[in-house]
Structure 1
Amino acid sequence: MARRSALSIRIVEGRNLPAKDIMGSSDPYCIVKINDETIIRTATVWKTLSPFWGEEYEVHLQPTFHSISIYVMDEDALSHDDVIGKVCITRDMLAEHPKGFSGWVSLSEVDPDEEVQGEIHLRVEVPGSQDSRRVLCCTVLEARDLARKDRNGASDPFVRLRYNGKVQESTVVKKSCYPRWNETFEFELAEPAGEKLCVEVWDWDLVGRNDFLGKVVFSVPGLEAAGQEEGWFRLQPDKSKPREDEHQGSLGSLQLQVRLRDETVLPSHCYQPLVQLLCQEVKSGRQDGQVHLVTLLDETTTAECRQEVAVNLVRLFLGQGLVKEFLDLLFELELAKPCEPNTLFRSNSLASKSMESFLKVTGMLYLHTVLGPTITRVFEEKKYVELDPGKVEVKDVGCSGLHRVQTEGEVIEQGRQHLQSYLGELLDAIVKSAPACPPVVRAAFRQLFRRVGERFPQHQHAKFVAVTSFLCLRFFSPAIMTPKLFHLRETHADARTSRTLLLLAKAVQMVGNMEPVAGRAKEAWLAPLLPALQQGIAQMKDFIARLVGTEEEEEEEEGEGRLVGPPAAVVKEGPLFVHKTRGKGPLLAATAKKLHFCLTGEALSFGKSPGAERSGAIALADILAAEKVEEKSFGSSYVMQVVYMGAGGQQETAYLQCKCVNDLNQWLSALRKVCVNNPRVLRAYHPGVFRGDKWSCCHQRQRTGLGCDRTRHGVTLQDWTDPLEPAAEAQRLFHHLQGLRGTLREKYWELLEPEDGQNGPRCEGAPLPEGLSRLFGVLGDLEGCHRLAQPPAPPTPSLLQLQT
């Protein structure tokens, strides 16, 4: 059984942001911090006060998650990036929106006294009276993950204790965010006892005011009653100061979609009855006169969660080797409804969403292969492309001092040539890509092609459009329009490139529709492109015929329903900079500082270049932890450490520098996923480096001593390359179906004939069909398993600690 939290975040757009540049604009991007740790950085949108990002993320977290902060920044190439404002969302706020929060949120000013993080280890007690003296004792043991306030990437923390008008301070620990004090302070208890003991952590500065790092406040009467309180306490911001509202509403706002799911995933055998029932329903297929369980699921699932349910179903059946049968059943059920050949699969039904999700899960590498070169060319050339006379910008042309203004017709003709060149290159790549298309995708399209042909024998054109409605309209065109969202580029397009991509996406859509005349009637200015579109339609038709061809080998057909690749399939690869430190091991012995790393389901290997022979490898079973490294250790925020067991049985650490915070978190996520079942993973680690005779983080002098911070094995990023998790997908489907019990029953009676011949209205007390009855039984059994597996309720929050 595993308990985890899954946080879905979509940063849609911003509006009315303040100008930070001299030219009256900004270059905004967002940083997402979860529990005060930077997890995500969006791409920068240049020269705008109303940026659109549209970036989506899903983060798997440890259950200790307490808040998410989204900072809007202005990128500056010449100095430090400016903070525009932030949005803070707590776990309690998300708990009030179980279906997720969606809407606009105003940015608030960033107050340094509220930018706190980390925890402090304290023991507070009121011992028995000694010599008629009653004392309050507070032992300050250590702290971890404090905020970094100094330029060296660390702080110089000390503790200040306040009680009954008296103040005491600890020693200062220099250059550490993981200080150890182990100092005890005593206060004489007042009569009556004072109300509060305040423990504050500060960063000492030689010049200027000290920086506030956070505080913990205790109720002294509560301590008297309990006698003693010891543990790790999360530092709280100072909210006692009055807030100024001068910036309220003037910093702009963000449109966000955030959803938190707390999940308890049972052992996989608990879900077998549910999985077997769903598989049996798919294998049985559609039967006349009966309401299929999949139809009920489609009819009762709301538009807001249909995409998520589609992804869960697709991934579940991929893991069971039945995705081909599942999609075929959806096609058959959809085509059984009253429909027209020219509107097939244009709605957001479960069939449409499932096929769309299926393409993203199984076809992303294929998408990159087909679109990548053309998208790269468009980004690099930055040519001006415009066909709409209402948007044409004329400009000076010429050479050697002889200039003239281009005519509108010349600009449009030039734009047509550029766009036709891009479209021709792209269509050529598509036409040649049939052998590269994954077999499972080809099998799905083959079934769709056949089903539509049987449903509309008089409209043979419809079966081609059915395939292109998914391949072009729901897969290729969205990726062309926003390549950043499909991982084709690391940055968003500028305004000129974005317009070119939009026109190219329109052209691909028109080719996919296979009716350019309709497009010309809607946007007459696309007429100059008509000959290229006509040629593209003929190419696309030939391509679809080859794509759905039936001359596949029998053994290939048998394996089409599975996504699982070879054991050594690449999970992540790329160049990393190796920092040399004391120690042994294959990485530290390497002569090159920059190596190409490749992570598979077997090992983390490395060589001098992508095609070069591997010079060494670390087996996954030997990896003990993958964690971030403090900035001060190597002067960079993007260094990770891979702790592993060396050949001689000694623990070694490799320090690897990534190119950016996103690359860092993607590597950490990939390493943690492939090592999730390692039995020897560490519970604690050192975020610093051992130099001289001590650790830079906590100043411990034992090189092999216990780490000073907790490892974060449970923090990973959801990605389309993730391995299948059948138990997790089954748990989400169970949770969804559990909430639909009553609705499923009502919808079943509604979908049956309202009257049964001469017997009048059908009686709702009649027995349910076997499939639905079994489903309710399975859901009831799973509910029982969850009740048995439910962990004991956490103790109520201590009344000793006050949230002030």
Structure 2
Amino acid sequence: MFSVLTLFLQCLKECHGLPLINGQNCDPFATVSLVGPSRNDQKKTKVKKKTSNPQFNETFYFEVTRSSSYTKKSQFQVEEEDIEKLEVRIDLWNNGNLVQDLFLGEIKIPVKVLGSDSFQAWYLLQPRDNGNKSSKNDDHGSLRLNICYAEDYVLPSEYYASLRNLLLKSSEVEPISASTAYVLAEVCRDKYDAILPLVRLLLHHHKLVQFITAVAELELKDTQEANTIFRGNSSATRCLDEMMKIVGKHYLKVTLKPILDEICENPKPCEIDPLKLKEADNVEIHKENLRYYVDKVFSTVVQSSISCPTLMCDVFCSLRRLAAERFPNDPHVQYSAVSSFVFLRFFAVAVVSPHTFHLRPHHPDAQISRTLTLISKAIQTLGSWGSLSKSKLSSFKETFMCEFFKMFQEEEYIESVKKFLDEVSSTESKEPSVMSESVHLKEGYDLWRPYESATSNSICHEPPCSDLVREMYKRAQGRTRIGKKNFKKRWFCLTSRELTYHKQQDKEPIYTIPIRNILAVEKLDESSFNKKNMFQVIHVEKPLYVQANNCVEASEWIEALCRVNKCNQRRLSVYHPSAFLNGNWLCCKATSENTVGCTPCTAGVPADIQIEIDGDRETERIYSLFALNMAKLQKMEEACGSIAVYQGPRKEQDDYSNFKIEDSVATFQTLQQIISAAEKLDEHHDRYRKKRSSSAKYGSEENPIVGKIS
């Protein structure tokens, strides 16, 4: 049993009486931070123009884990925290546009004083001790907000089995709108409440791709025009957004962080809006600076397909297929379906707000923020497949951006985008555009540096010496004894089409495995052959077992093979970490050689960012959302029952909260199951609370003292 505290700054509502700046109303915005000894999470509101009484009405969420209650790190790498030392800090700033932002005032609220019930109050803004940034006015104005926290008590795993199974089977329900996961997203007023724990849970259990595919297909049924594909704020788009934030962190780090560091630490002037230029500014130099940054970011992105996480590739592949099926006469929709996410909702967002993706420690100042905004706009446009035709230049909202984009009227940009999207969303049946011969192995080359062949798109990893891979055993199954003679020295060559191995350098391969036939590439337990640094290439025949010279080479081979194979839709989700010897699998003791694997494959996430998600923790959060919306679920159930039984006129839409009921019978059954599972969890929680209040000693770990003793 442990507890999770979710802090809801339910609404940063408004400010009143902010000071004038140079006799005029300011352009205020707020930064909202949760600050403690081991964290400083910061979020930012939108800028409100020319007002001393801004209306923000924005919501923010922070999640922490009670001290001594949870031993793992979350996927956000938040360790156990002492809530007594946490505080919410809200800073008000005047947007300086091209100069430094001006501090207006702040409030600080210790988390320990908050109750579980929400409350709304006005706070007087206070000056900051830092004299060089504080306002000179005595009256800093006031701020109104609504703030609370919710604390979830997570029960042992077996208590969540019923609700968890309903959620995990959602992608199998037809129609998907009658599934538990879909109902969850629809029943919550703010989709963010539901989508984040749902994505984490489905990701943890390897069910996310199937669910996103199903809800995307449902959304496409209602999409009438190809140019509006995936542009709304639906369950499908929100799921994908959250998935990319979680899974794509490392991808952004290896692609964007170096260039963003350059822009932020050594900025060049890039303003090209005539209304924002100063007299001494040279617009042509600014254009060249902006062009340099845009080209560098763009080239980095379109050359990064090999680093794109496998899970993202799987989803992009599904979106591409669904879009092509929905609009078969539009040749560009298969690209726009993917670019609408990878460019518009991933890279462009990360460029304009690098601090929210942990690419920069703080939000940039006004001048750098403006540069990043211009770069982001350019990347969005370059990434929109087919949008660079001359007939579409007039569609730019700003004339100066239209003029700037005349510098990009080269076919190579469009072709680069198309090639990149092909690489991150290719299907199994798609053959390489160039059918090339295998590149043979030679001595003297840098071992792990992939390069583009002059005559092909092949990726070749060439060893510097003859002892790259000492021994290989390719047919272990069915043998009762493993001897030294079964291991042979071999040379390997990897291209984008196949893996080959050779007896000697520059000789014809003795065996070839097409990349499309590789089902998984994983480490092999040392206990299998009493040898270190081994990995296995599982393909349509029997596994190929390989021993590398050292652990570094083994890891690099695994990574290289996984990257070229990540768009193979036949990849396995589970595997056997040991060999099949003496009539059974050494790992799970299964006696059939064809038994399904016993361990989840690891190739979906880069090895250096293992995402730890606690499924019980996420299921508890989902249960609490269902419990909070129980009245709404019961109204839906009543509406479904009346439709299914009488087939008469539906009740007013408000009676089931704008819920789209495609199949009343299936939805009714799902709602009954959700309500039943939630009620059982209610009983378990009530039983726990009674036991805790009656048996736990006041002041113990199970029943700590809250607040100060007077």
Task: Assess same fold via TM > 0.5.
Answer: yes
State the SS of the aligned residue for 1:490.
coil
If asked which structure has higher relative contact order (CA below 8 Å, sep 6+), I would say 1
Distance between the aligned counterparts of 1:787 and 1:499, measured in 2? Answer: 53
Q: Does 1:275 align with 2:296?
A: no
Match of 1:548 among 408, 422, 425: 425
Residues 71 and 424 of structure 1: is their aligned pair in 2 closer, same or farther, counting only changes over 3 Å?
Answer: closer
* Residue in structure 2 matched with residue 793 of structure 1 by the alignment: 693
* Residue in structure 1 matched with residue 209 of structure 2 by the alignment: 324
Residue type of the partner of 2:328? P
**1:283-322 pair list within 5 angstroms:** 283-286=172-175, 291-303=178-190, 306-322=191-207
* Residue in structure 2 matched with residue 3 of structure 1 by the alignment: 3
Give the total of aligned pairs. Answer: 477
Distance between the aligned counterparts of 1:730 and 1:336, measured in 2? Answer: 30
* Residue in structure 1 matched with residue 124 of structure 2 by the alignment: 106
* Residue in structure 2 matched with residue 211 of structure 1 by the alignment: none
| Contact 1:291/1:751 (8 A) holds in 2 | no
Distance between the aligned counterparts of 1:38 and 1:390, measured in 2? Answer: 43
Distance between the aligned counterparts of 2:519 and 2:143, measured in 1? Answer: 48
* Residue in structure 1 matched with residue 620 of structure 2 by the alignment: 731
List runs of 5+ in structure 2 lacking aligned partners. Answer: 46-50, 70-81, 94-102, 130-135, 430-514, 526-551, 553-608, 656-663
* Residue in structure 2 matched with residue 58 of structure 1 by the alignment: 63
Distance between the aligned counterparts of 2:518 and 2:149, measured in 1? Answer: 40
Residue type of the partner of 2:423? R
* Residue in structure 2 matched with residue 372 of structure 1 by the alignment: 257
Deviations 1:336-385 (A, max 9, x none): 33543222222221111110000001011101111112212211331111
Residues 489 and 19 of structure 1: is their aligned pair in 2 closer, same or farther, counting only changes over 3 Å?
Answer: farther
Residues 554 and 311 of structure 1: is their aligned pair in 2 closer, same or farther, counting only changes over 3 Å?
Answer: farther
Match of 1:416 among 276, 280, 287: 287
TM-score (norm 2): 0.57
**1:585-664 pair list within 5 angstroms:** none
Distance between the aligned counterparts of 1:248 and 1:96, measured in 2? Answer: 35
* Per-residue deviation, 1:55: 9.0
Distance between the aligned counterparts of 2:395 and 2:212, measured in 1? Answer: 34
Q: Does 1:525 align with 2:400?
A: yes
Residues 280 and 250 of structure 1: is their aligned pair in 2 closer, same or farther, counting only changes over 3 Å?
Answer: same
* Residue in structure 2 matched with residue 775 of structure 1 by the alignment: 674
Deviations 1:545-598 (A, max 9, x none): 1211124956876799xxxx999xxxxxxxxxxxxxxxxxxxxxxxxxxxxxxx
State the SS of the aligned residue for 1:390.
coil
List runs of 5+ in structure 1 lacking aligned partners. Answer: 76-81, 112-246, 396-405, 568-610, 612-719
Distance between the aligned counterparts of 1:33 and 1:495, measured in 2? Answer: 23
* Per-residue deviation, 1:391: 1.2
Residues 769 and 754 of structure 1: is their aligned pair in 2 closer, same or farther, counting only changes over 3 Å?
Answer: closer
| Contact 1:3/1:263 (8 A) holds in 2 | yes
Residues 351 and 802 of structure 1: is their aligned pair in 2 closer, same or farther, counting only changes over 3 Å?
Answer: closer
Distance between the aligned counterparts of 1:559 and 1:474, measured in 2? Answer: 31
Distance between the aligned counterparts of 2:394 and 2:112, measured in 1? Answer: 48
* Per-residue deviation, 1:432: 1.2
Residue type of the partner of 1:96? D
Distance between the aligned counterparts of 2:209 and 2:183, measured in 1? Answer: 20
Residue type of the partner of 1:547? V
Distance between the aligned counterparts of 1:744 and 1:386, measured in 2? Answer: 52
* Residue in structure 1 matched with residue 239 of structure 2 by the alignment: 354
* Per-residue deviation, 1:521: 3.7
Alignment identity in percent? 24
Residue type of the partner of 2:189? T
Q: Does 1:460 align with 2:331?
A: yes
Distance between the aligned counterparts of 2:220 and 2:29, measured in 1? Answer: 48
* Per-residue deviation, 1:90: 5.9
Distance between the aligned counterparts of 1:336 and 1:793, measured in 2? Answer: 52
Residues 556 and 425 of structure 1: is their aligned pair in 2 closer, same or farther, counting only changes over 3 Å?
Answer: farther
* Residue in structure 1 matched with residue 348 of structure 2 by the alignment: 477
* Per-residue deviation, 1:329: 1.4
Distance between the aligned counterparts of 2:89 and 2:420, measured in 1? Answer: 46
Deviations 1:591-622 (A, max 9, x none): xxxxxxxxxxxxxxxxxxxx9xxxxxxxxxxx
* Residue in structure 2 matched with residue 161 of structure 1 by the alignment: none
Residues 555 and 771 of structure 1: is their aligned pair in 2 closer, same or farther, counting only changes over 3 Å?
Answer: farther
Which structure has the highest strand share of the two?
1
| Contact 1:297/1:744 (8 A) holds in 2 | no
Distance between the aligned counterparts of 1:486 and 1:522, measured in 2? Answer: 28
State the SS of the aligned residue for 2:65.
strand
| Contact 1:72/1:85 (8 A) holds in 2 | yes
State the SS of the aligned residue for 1:792.
helix
Choose 741-750 or 437-446, whichever is displaced more. Answer: 741-750
RMSD value over aligned CA atoms?
Answer: 4.9
Residue type of the partner of 2:124? S
Residues 42 and 298 of structure 1: is their aligned pair in 2 closer, same or farther, counting only changes over 3 Å?
Answer: closer
Residue type of the partner of 2:351? I
Residues 72 and 739 of structure 1: is their aligned pair in 2 closer, same or farther, counting only changes over 3 Å?
Answer: closer
* Per-residue deviation, 1:768: 6.5
Larger radius of gyration between Structure 1 and Structure 2: 1
Distance between the aligned counterparts of 1:293 and 1:28, measured in 2? Answer: 37
* Residue in structure 1 matched with residue 376 of structure 2 by the alignment: 505
Residues 751 and 371 of structure 1: is their aligned pair in 2 closer, same or farther, counting only changes over 3 Å?
Answer: farther
| Contact 1:31/1:38 (8 A) holds in 2 | no
TM-score (norm 1): 0.51
Deviations 1:209-236 (A, max 9, x none): xxxxxxxxxxxxxxxxxxxxxxxxxxxx
| Contact 2:319/2:338 (8 A) holds in 1 | yes
| Contact 1:439/1:556 (8 A) holds in 2 | no
Residue type of the partner of 2:622? L
* Per-residue deviation, 1:317: 0.9
Distance between the aligned counterparts of 2:364 and 2:299, measured in 1? Answer: 24
State the SS of the aligned residue for 2:351.
helix
Residues 531 and 85 of structure 1: is their aligned pair in 2 closer, same or farther, counting only changes over 3 Å?
Answer: closer
Residue type of the partner of 1:788? R
* Per-residue deviation, 1:735: 0.9
| Contact 1:332/1:451 (8 A) holds in 2 | yes
| Contact 2:117/2:149 (8 A) holds in 1 | no
